[in-house]
């Protein structure tokens, strides 16, 4: 089974969704037959590389609310993250452009370390409050997982793998993805939002059984429940239901 995940490293629900999917996969009896691939998606392609405003200030501007309201909304998301063992440091985060980070992940995939770098980038942004557009930061994260420093420097200084990132973003547009995280199972079945682990478990089992019947269709079938949490270029929606 192949699971393609469109996400962005500055999307709080993308990291939450990652952990929830991992919990579901841990309980899935056929997890050794599952491959997870992360696809590029930029929530804000025009974001500055060097942040001049805090996360709360940017969020308040986006929703025309107060900084205090933005902080309260973020605290709700942080509570959800904490339940999964994630430590979100919203007050220290450095909102930034993620294009170079996505480029580097495409290279890491080529050498079999893509998913490892994805995890490092999420943790660096949300917990360590690193500036993940900074080339020194990206070099360090890449070195931490064993990527060759000289090769990484070459990729970052040029625009290598930029075309690949744009192709995946165009694919998202063609599919109709308007928010992340977004999951496609075996290029047929779609799930959007940071679903709870039990929903992912249900989807995994359902897709496994459907694929056993070798259904030949390219139409995406939504396997969502009614409520979820996700991020778009307009902002993040906090799920209302208590899971």
| Per-residue pLDDT of the chain in tens (243 residues, 90 and over written 9) | 999 999 999 999 999 999 999 999 999 999 999 999 999 999 999 999 999 999 999 999 989 999 999 999 999 999 999 999 999 999 999 999 999 999 999 999 999 999 999 999 999 999 999 999 999 999 999 999 999 999 999 999 998 999 999 999 999 999 999 999 999 999 999 999 999 999 999 999 999 999 888 655 555 677 776 667 788 877 787 765 544
pLDDT confidence of residue 214 = 65
pLDDT confidence of residue 242 = 44
pLDDT confidence of residue 229 = 79
| pLDDT per residue as tens digits for the range 1-59 | 999 999 999 999 999 999 999 999 999 999 999 999 999 999 999 999 999 999 999 99
Q: How many CB atoms lie within 10 A of CB 123?
A: 16
- The three state secondary structure string of 107-156 is HHHHCCCHHHHHHHHHHHHHCCCCCCCCHHHHHHHHHHCCCCHHHHHHHH
Q: Are 182 and 190 in contact (CB under 8 A)?
A: yes
Kindly list the domain boundaries of the chain, sorted by start residue.
Answer: 2-237
pLDDT confidence of residue 226 = 61
pLDDT confidence of residue 15 = 98
Residue keyed to tokens 């744009």: 166
Fold topology of 2-237: Glutaredoxin (3.40.30)
The CA distance from 1 to 22, in Å, is: 14
Q: Are 224 and 182 in contact (CB under 8 A)?
A: no
Structure tokens of 78? 């942080």
């Amino acid at each position: 089974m192949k699971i393609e995940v469109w996400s962005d490293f500055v999307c709080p629900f993308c990291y939450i969704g990652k952990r929830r999917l991992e919990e579901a996969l841990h309980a899935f009896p056929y997890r050794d037959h599952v491959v997870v691939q992360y696809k590029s998606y930029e929530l804000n392609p025009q974001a500055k590389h060097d942040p001049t405003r805090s996360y709360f200030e940017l969020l308040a501007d986006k929703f025309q609310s107060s900084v205090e309201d933005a902080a309260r909304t973020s605290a709700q998301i942080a509570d959800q993250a904490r339940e999964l063992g994630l430590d979100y440091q919203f007050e220290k985060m450095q909102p930034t452009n993620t294009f170079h980070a996505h480029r580097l992940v495409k290279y890491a995939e080529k050498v079999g370390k893509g998913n490892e770098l994805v995890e490092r980038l999420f943790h660096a942004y949300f917990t360590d409050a690193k500036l993940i557009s900074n080339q020194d930061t990206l070099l360090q994260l890449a070195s931490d997982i064993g990527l060759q420093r000289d090769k990484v420097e070459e990729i970052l200084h040029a625009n290598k793998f930029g075309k690949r990132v744009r192709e995946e973003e165009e694919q998202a547009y063609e599919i109709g993805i308007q928010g992340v995280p977004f999951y496609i199972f075996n290029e047929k079945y779609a799930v959007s939002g940071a679903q709870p682990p039990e929903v992912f478990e249900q989807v995994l089992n359902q897709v496994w059984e459907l694929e056993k019947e070798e259904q030949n269709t390219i139409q995406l079938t939504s396997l969502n429940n009614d409520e979820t949490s996700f991020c778009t270029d307009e902002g993040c929606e906090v799920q209302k239901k208590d899971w």
